[in-house]
Amino acid sequence: MSEAKAVQGGKRFFLTTPIYYLNGQPHIGHAYTSIAADVLARWKRLAGNEVFFLTGTDEHGQKVERAALDAGLSPQDFTDQLAADFRGMAEKIGISFDDFIRTTEERHKRSCQALWEKLAAGGHIYLGHYEGWYAVRDEAFYGPDEIEDRNGVKVAIASGAPVEWTREPSYFFRLSDWTGKLLEFYEAHPEFMAPASTKREVTAFVKAGLQDLSISRTSFKWGVPVPGDEAHVMYVWLDALTNYITALGYPDPGSERWGFWPADLHMVGKEITRFHCVYWPAFLMAAGLEPPKRVYANGWLTIEGQKMSKSLGNGLDPLLLAEEFGLDPLRYYLLREVPFGNDGDFSRRAVIGRLNSELANDLGNLAQRTLSLIQRNCEGRLPALVPPTDADRELLGPVEALPAAVDDAISRQAFGEALERIWTVVRLGNSWIDSQKPWSLKKTDPVRMEAVLRNLHTAMRTLATVLQPFMPGTMASMLDQLGVGEGSRALSDLATPLPDGTALPPPSPLFRKIDEAA
């Protein structure tokens, strides 16, 4: 029995990206998180799961209001333009989302207000006033021990954002009541936070004791009005986090989508883990809802060794990069170069190196050699499947085990590990074809030649199938060349061999090399 059978399917799976904050154009950092989430969504679908994949934009708050003013636009016009840019980026880089949510939508305002009323009815909200340090850039409050003086300017230590002293009426969520309950939840659900660095940092923060959380503002108007007191708008993080249940139809318990809750995974940038791992589960439990099953924080990308910043103008447009290198090589590189969850660097030289060496030389040449030999020596038809020899099992054993190994890695968000496991088989395929020398067997043992080529085709089919989530366009082309129909490209289909004699089209190169000196 093929190891592909070990991959579990048939379950509902709810996956989200962060909703991206609209104070600037989309850049490679946004694309990085979205591509990682897309690979997981595509993999789960490939495994036979019913997937709901959500992305979108976070559009309220003082920072957006100020950015709109600086641009000479109303906040709604400003966010309409930027939201279209973010949606367009997602579509053009192949993000297979099922819903794109905007926090300015009426369905979201209704959901936020319903959640607020539920929390208020449970006694979890009270009116007071806030006095302390606030960073507009982070949309976050900081305690005295979380700020420092840098060149005469007070900034948040964690982010470097300038802070200003703020005093205004505010509604508070009784977060201090949840210190012990959150620690118990973390203990009972060890997979809730990842990677390990996130788990350590968040747990230490909660153990230090939680303070009640300001959840409304009166100093600006661009937000969801607080039910019954429209002098206040909701603090952006209560508003923003609610998007995940808005998209499922909250507060309607009869919504068709509600069965996807709780979320299987929130994929977020590490700068917003506190909101997702502390505030969000507390809000949900207070409202009588289950917390998400897992939050995974990816690291930050630098660009050629420099931190991304508006002042440097080095944010990198992912659409221009896709045009330069090809979309699939870009997707591959982003998840291959750096272990997901760690900080990493984007380097043009490294992209070119991966493309030329691993994609064009390793995978592309293996496919071209295999398919060209079948085209020349087998009249372009798939050789017959025969019982494997011990030599064949050296290749076919790792090939059959590959889907389960990749599933294990991707399910842990270890995308680089998944690709390394795949490339172990790619390298094995190249060494195996060299050792078997099918080009020499045409005259000495044509029956063995056909068996070798059939086994290489089996390996290429499995490789193309498991690589579909990473490089969907290129692998669709590869599967076309392998004679695999569009309805036979799921993991479960690997257990059913293609018919002997299947006609294969003439092969064509999958990847174009780039001159490193260019």
Q: Is residue 160 part of a domain?
A: no
Q: Write out the residue range of the structural domain in which residue 475 sits.
A: 353-495
Is residue 40 domain-resident?
A: no
Give a yes or no: residue 371 inside a domain: yes
Nearest of 40, 515, 377 to residue 369 by alpha carbon: 377
Helix runs in 355-500, H state only: 365-377, 390-411, 415-436, 438-444, 446-467, 472-481
Residue 56 resides in a domain: no
Which runs of E-coded beta strand occur in 215-278? 216-217, 225-226, 229-234, 265-269
Pairing of strands 301-303, 344-346: parallel
Exposure on the CB side of residue 280, measured as CA atoms within 13 A:
28
Residue 448 forms part of a structural domain: yes
Q: For the residues 468-483, what does the mean pLDDT come to?
A: 98
Q: In this structure, are strands 225-226 and 229-234 parallel, antiparallel, or unpaired?
A: antiparallel
Residues ≥6 apart with Cβ < 8 Å to 302: 308, 343, 344, 345, 346
> How does pLDDT run across 145-169, given as a tens digit for each residue?
899 999 889 999 988 899 999 888 9
The dihedral region occupied by 10, where left means phi > 0, alpha psi between -120 and 50, and beta the remainder, is left
Residue 137: predicted pLDDT: 83
What the block records as the tokens of 87 is 């949606």
Helix (H) or strand (E) holding 142: strand 140-142
3-class DSSP state of 143: coil
- Looking at the structure of the chain, the number of domains it has is 1
The pTM of this model reads 0.92
258-283: per-residue pLDDT in tens?
999 999 999 999 889 999 999 999 99
- The enclosing domain of 384 has a CATH number of 1.10.730.10
Judge whether 357 lies within some domain: yes
Average pLDDT over residues 488-505: 97
Residue at 456 is within a domain: yes
Per-residue pLDDT tens over the stretch 402-461: 999 999 999 999 999 999 999 999 999 999 999 999 999 999 999 999 999 999 999 999
Average model confidence (pLDDT) across the chain = 93
How would residue 48 be classed by pLDDT, with cut points 50, 70 and 90? very high
Does residue 479 sit within a domain?
yes
Angle of the 28-46 helix axis to the 327-336 helix axis, nearest 10: 90
